[in-house]
Amino acid sequence: MKSPPLTLLLEEAFPTWEEFELTCWVFEAVDQHQNDFDELIECLDLANGRQDFIARLRAAHPVGAIHNVQHDHRLLDVFTEGAAFAWAFRVAKLGCPRFVAEEGAPDIAIEDTWLEVKTVRNSQEEEQFKEEVLNPHLRRHGIAIRGAVTLEAPLAGFVGKFQSHLDNALLKWERQGRNGQFIVYYGFNIDFGVSGRAARKEIRDWAATSERRHGISIVICPRFEWERPLYDSTQKTPV
């Protein structure tokens, strides 16, 4: 049976994967022949980004170090960068992207365009809240309701995550002399809870306002779903 593209990629990046911890994301993905990221990997191959991507995977998940769950988080952040690469190549059709290895520079360059990539996820406290409060509540009642414990996160918390990353991205751009077009790509993996529709609108409104204020473009996608942006002003109309 032919191995899926993700298995081949990870075997190339980590030839000694069988020596990794059983709970390691790389070990599980290869051992289970997970069939994810096919189109992302295809874009990497077509745009000659595969070897640079592998170098980023190895840097994020060092071989020989004692395994830490943060290694897996950083590895998946690299796949968010791969999703941005695929978006730039196939959706936005900006040309052939290239990963930038220089410290302090944006993550991806396409001719005169800089693409900075950010992952927005739940904090450890939010994950703990979800595991200890929200998920048991859902298992008991099947729905999330207001009560003594607030199950709806404040919108400001969501927007604050995006704003913090934007502030960091703009600092990088300033160091590069604000040259060319600047795009900030977000891959998000956060729980909106019962405020989902309102949170998405708030994030879209924030993105539009931030673009006007700073003269940049913003793309926001559910993590790894680079073909289905929540917001993408580089296209004719934001999604």
**Contact indicator for 122, 223 with CB cutoff of 8 Å:** no
pLDDT for the residue numbered 195: 64
Letter string b/e over residues 58-76, b meaning 16 or more CB atoms within 10 A of that residue's CB: eebbeeeeebeeebbebbb
The shares of helix, strand and coil residues in the chain, as percent rounded to the nearest 5, are 50, 15, 35
Q: Using alpha carbons only, what angle is made at residue 165 by residues 226 and 106, rounded to the nearest 5 degrees? A: 70
pLDDT for the residue numbered 236: 60
Letter string b/e over residues 182-197, b meaning 16 or more CB atoms within 10 A of that residue's CB: bbbbbbbebbbeebee
pLDDT for the residue numbered 126: 45
Tally: H helices and E strands in the chain? 9, 6
Reading the block at residue 164, the tokens are 């913090």
Phi, psi (rounded to 5 degrees) for 184 = -105, 120
> pLDDT in tens for each of the 239 residues of the chain?
689 999 999 999 999 999 999 999 999 999 999 999 999 999 999 999 999 999 999 999 988 878 888 999 999 999 999 999 999 999 999 999 999 988 878 899 998 899 999 999 865 544 444 444 444 544 455 544 434 344 444 445 778 889 999 999 999 888 878 888 999 999 998 766 656 788 889 999 999 999 999 999 999 999 899 999 999 999 864 55
Reading the block at residue 108, the tokens are 């991806």
